[in-house]
Structure 1
Amino acid sequence: MPARPLPEIAFVGRSNAGKSTAINTLAQQKRLAFASKTPGRTQHINLFVLGPKDAPDALFADLPGYGYAAVARDAKLRWQRVMADYLSQRETLSGVVLMVDSRHGLTDLDKQLLEFVSDRVTAGEVSLLVLLTKADKLNRKEGAAALAQVEKELAVLATEDSDIAVSLFSALNKQGLDDAAELIYDWAHRAPRVLSSDDEDEDGV
C-alpha cells in the first residue's frame, strides 16, 4: 500500500451488498468502482483520489467484497488477513463505511469484519458508518425495523469517544445519500488526531 498523507475512507461489505454502486453514487461517477459479473473477482484494495486534481484532499479505499462460497478457501483467508491488517493498522484510515444489505442485516461475516476495526472505533480513532443498502426494497415499517436491529447490535461499540452512525441507503432513489456524503466529507476534513501521552509507547513513537 502506498503511503499517502491523505485521510482514507474505507468501503467494505459483502460482494452483493451494493458497495461499488454506492461508491460511484457518492463520488458522482458512473464507472469509478467496477462491479464484476463474477463474484470475488476483485482481489486488491483500490484507492481513488478525491478532490481537486492539483490538490487532492482524501482517498476512497475500495476493499475486496467477501462472502461468496465459490471463492477458494485460501483466497478467502488471504483477503481476510489483508483486510484485518489494513483496518487495524493503516495509520491514515479516518473512517469505515460498512455496506450491509438492509434485507438481511449484519451477517456473521460483517460482524467478523467489525472486529478487525473495533478497537480503533471504540477509541475514537476511526469513525464507522453502516449503510443499510437497497433500502428501496423495504417498506417504511421494514426499514425502521432493520435500522433498529443494527443500531442495537452496534451498541457494544458505543463509547464516549466512538463515532458511529447507521443509515438506510439506496443508490437507486438516493435515500440517505446527502447525509452519508456530508458525514464522509466531515471525516475527511476534520483536524488530525493529536496523540496523548497514553497513546505514545515507551520509545515516544
Structure 2
Amino acid sequence: MNTDDTVLEFGSENEPRVKKRVIHPVACFFHLFFRVSALVVYLVCGLTTAGFVSSFIAILLLLSADFWTVKNVTGRLLVGLRWWNKVDDDGKSTWIYESRKPAAMKKHPVKPAESRIFWVSLIVCPLIWLFSLFGLIFGLNVKWLAVVIVALILNSANLFGYIRCKFTSRKQIGSLATKYIGSQIFNSMAGGTQEETNTPVSSETF
C-alpha cells in the first residue's frame, strides 16, 4: 500500500510543541466511551426494569459505533495499526493486516500511555462480555443472550484483527533484518564487489 499516513493531533493546534504522554485525547476518549457505555447500559438495564427493546437497541448502537471507531480510527492513531477487507474484481475477499511505515513511525511514534489505553481496553472488554455470557448460560437467562453474543463477536473481531496486525509487523521486521544480514554476509563472501540492493517495502504497511 502506497497511501501516505496521516496523523491528526486533536486539541493540540494552539499548544506548544512539547512532549506529551497523550497526543490524541479525543481518540482515547472515544476509544473508551462507546465500549464502556455499552457495558454500563447492559449492566444497568440488567439490574433494573428498563424496557428491553430500547435497551437492546441502545446497546447495539453503542457496540456498532465502538466497532467502527476502533477499527477505522483509534487503531491507526493510537498504535499505528489497521486491518481491513479488500474485494477484487473477481469477487475474491482478502483480509489485510497493516502496520505504519517505519519512516512514519519515527516521525509519529506510538506513545506508551496511548498504547496501554488501547490494548488494555481492547483485551479487558471482551473478557467482561465473555464472563457475562457464561453467567447468562449458567443462570439460564436467555433474555440478554443475543446482546452479549453480538458484543462478544464485535469486540473479539477487533481484538483478533489488531493482534494479527501486531504479529505481522513483528514478522516483517524480523524478515527485513534477516534479508539484510544475509545480503551483507553474501557481499562479504563475494569480496564486496556487488552493489547493495534496496529491500522493497512490504505491502502490509501504510
TM-score range, shorter chain: under 0.3
Structure whose CA Rg is larger: 2
TM-score w.r.t. the length of structure 1 is 0.26
Q: Select the structure that is richer in helix.
A: 2
Q: Select the structure that is richer in strand.
A: 1
Q: Which has the higher contact order (CA 8 A, sep 6+)?
A: 2
